Copies of this chain bind each other. A is one copy, B any other.
Amino acid sequence: MRRIIWVLVVVSAVAGAIALVAPGTGHADQEIYVTAIPRGYRDWRLVSVAHEEGELQDIRAILGNDVAIKAYREKKLPFPEGSIIARIAWKHVPSEENNKVFGRAQSFVPGAEPEWYLQFMVKNSKKYAATGGWGYAQFDKDGKPGPEKDMKACFPCHEAIRARDFVFTKYTP
């Protein structure tokens, strides 16, 4: 009987662990590449939102994997190894539907994907030592990565924000 109970405990723990680490919705973020889209990023939790005018004219969500969200919430800098921050952007377009209902032109919503729909910062201090420990990546709506020369253009701007480990976006509770 004792042996059976022990087996039950182990099996339950394993089942629980599997469910936590890799639920069907794709929270797994063990795979870190900068030339491939980090798996499951669309299920990550929200860091913040932003709106860029000028040449960009987008509205964007910034998400973080579990490691990044934990560091953000604990105000822990530098971000730990394995942190990934995702930026999804959409064209900032008026919502005809909402404006009609409210009787006012005031509502802007996500439109089509811009040229660089997805961007990521991946923390790996050894691999990306030359760029502050972060690898940078961007992808179009078809998942095609941006050219390497564009990725080299990320760090010079992010250097201005060295005091926050090169991360512009602040966490908004």
Q: What residues make up the interface of A, taking CB atoms closer than 8 Å to B?
A: 4, 7-8, 11-20, 23, 25, 42-46, 48-56, 59-61, 63, 66, 69, 88, 90, 92, 95, 97-98, 100-102, 104-110, 157, 160-161, 168, 170, 172-173
Q: Which of B19, B42, B98 contacts A20 (CB 8 A)?
A: B19
Q: A61-B61, A157-B101 are in contact. Are A110 and B11 (CB under 8 A)?
A: no
Number of identical protomers: 2
Q: Which of B14, B20, B110 contacts A172 (CB 8 A)?
A: B110
- Chain B nearest CB, measured from A17 CB (Å): 8
**A45→B43 contact, CB < 8 A:** yes
Chain B contacts for A4, CB-based, 8 A:
4, 7
User: How far, in whole Å, are A125 and B55 apart by their CA atoms in the complex?
Assistant: 45
- Chain B residue with minimal CB distance to A159? B101
Chain B contacts for A54, CB-based, 8 A:
102, 104-106
Chain B contacts for A19, CB-based, 8 A:
15-17, 19-20
User: How far, in whole Å, are A17 and B11 apart by their CA atoms in the complex?
Assistant: 13
User: How far, in whole Å, are A170 and B92 apart by their CA atoms in the complex?
Assistant: 14
**A50→B59 contact, CB < 8 A:** yes
